[in-house]
A = this chain, B = another copy of it.
Amino acid sequence: MPSATLDHAYAVILAGGYGERFWPLSTMARPKQLLSLLSERTMLEMAFDRLDGLVPHDRVLVLTSADLVDATIATAPDLLPENVIGEPVRRDTAAAVALAAAVVKARDPEGVFCILTADHVMGDLDVFRDTIRSGLEVAASNDVLVTIGITPTHPSTAFGYVETGDSFDGGVDTSIPFHRVARFVEKPDRETAEGYLETGRFWWNSGMFVWSAASVEASFAAHRPELAEFIDTLVPSVDTDGFADALAAGFEPLEKISIDYALMEKADNIVMAEGTFSWDDVGSWPEVANHLPADDAGNVTRGAVSTLDAANNIVLSDGRLTAIIGVEDLVVVHADGATLICPKDRAQDVKKIVTELRANPDHQDLL
């Protein structure tokens, strides 16, 4: 489904997190998106690969922390170095979207772009690409903000939801259904989530969006005018020697606020594309392991690992050998001389160890 619209299409991958829950494999210098968690390719490279045939390489932008720009360029050689943009401070997703909008607008005033993440595992990539492509076409020819809703497979309490209203005809030849959005809702409790699924009107909020630079800037002007001003101020400096200074000056004062809160919960021109491809957050080791092959006893291992009477463990070892005897449902990660051991159901709490290490001057080299 080639389209002239796609000549103006950009993809922006948000890759600014640190992924503390993957410590000690993840560190400040080697965050989750630069890890090969699910395949030989890093999470960022997998996000990049998914765009194959949809957006040309030179129009794939990556937004990350300024201190990760070099590591990102080194780890993902397919990216153009000038397309890896470092945020001088952390300012959450609304500021990141505004920064992306400024770069896209400067390069192509008719530009449309999708906002993607490197945090998820996806399948059915043809469907994914059809969905994003349709989103780009709808966003190019309508003054709407497109969100990608994922067809829920179970009443998850880990995701926010998008409630849809009437169907939306964007005037585009596509098999992907679009709906007007009634509202965005936060992560629900189990009972509420079950109710959502029964209505058939709720989709998971994937954090993926598609819009034109013009539409998103107009929406910022209406709901967060300082972000529209930031875009206007930054545009003339894009791809000039003055960019870094202009970015530093304009970005630092911005409020830390998510794009959901800044725009999606306020704008009334939001439409949702049905995402029927498989999609899952892989926020901690047990979720990663769900997507990796296990041995007969349910152990997922990587590296040199020996098991004896051990079942349903996740063991990653970059060391000489990790041997486990008689344990179950543990996460064991050895990387760079540091070892983490916790039950699977405490894998969220790895973050607490990282927080503790950050507070300890002796342990900064482990982060």
Contact = CB atoms under 8 A, between A and B. Distances in A.
A334 B327 contact: no
Interface string A340-367: 1111011001101100110000010110
B308 A323 contact: no
Contacts of A24: 321, 323
A352 B323 CA distance: 11
A176 to B, nearest CB: 43
Contacts of A330: 327, 341
A177 to B, nearest CB: 44
A317 interface: yes
A318 to B, nearest CB: 9
A343 B365 CA distance: 30
Given A306-B353, A353-B306, A356-B308, A325 B342 contact: yes
A154 interface: no
A306 B324 CA distance: 20
Contacts of A323: 24, 338-341, 353
30 contacts: A24-B321, A306-B357, A308-B352, A308-B353, A309-B346, A309-B349, A319-B334, A319-B338, A319-B339, A320-B337, A321-B338, A321-B339, A321-B363, A321-B366, A322-B339, A322-B340, A324-B342, A325-B341, A325-B346, A325-B352, A326-B343, A326-B345, A326-B346, A327-B330, A327-B342, A330-B341, A332-B341, A334-B334, A334-B339, A339-B339
